[in-house]
Amino acid sequence: MSVPEFTNRQRATAWSFVLGLIGVIAFGVTMAIHAAHADGYIVSCDFMIGVTCFAGPMGNPYVRDVPQPTTDAAKEEQRRRDMIWVHECAPELVRDRYGVMRYQYNDPGCAFGSHP
């Protein structure tokens, strides 16, 4: 069985097709990333093995958004619970041995809001 030989024109056509396909894929990925940024998302892509992209909302990943009460009764209940927490936990700013100001509480559970 003989191996077919390609002419220079056929080789050039194949390379043009491959490069064009790579260009179309790169354009699509670029537009998807741009659209995600425009919608307020941060995009992280990994091109080491393949194209793997992750999009998540922009902002600090270490800050949790806590839903706030909407009704007057819920706001009053939240205010009452906050006052009880401040009275029982007595948050106090204290400088640690490195000079960083940190909160100290009366009870260990107060740091994470698990105290009633």
What is the mean pLDDT, run by run of 10 residues, along the chain of 116 residues?
81 92 87 69 67 68 84 95 90 93 87 68
Residue 1 lies in a domain: no
What pTM, to 2 d.p., does this model score? 0.44
Ramachandran assignment for 25, one of left (phi > 0), alpha (psi -120 to 50 degrees), beta (any other): alpha
How confident is the model at residue 75, as a pLDDT?
95
Residue 67 lies in a domain: no
Kindly compute the dihedral angle of the four CA atoms of residues 76, 80, 81, 84, in this order, to the nearest 10 degrees: 170
Q: Which domain holds residue 98?
A: 80-112
Contacts of 41 (CB under 8 A, 6+ apart): 55, 56, 57, 58
Residue 35 lies in a domain: yes
Distances (CA, A) of 74 to 69, 79, 116: 5, 9, 16
Domains: count for the chain: 2
Question: Residue 88: what are its φ and ψ, rounded to 5°?
Answer: -80, -35
In sequence order, the β-bridge partners of residue 44 are 54
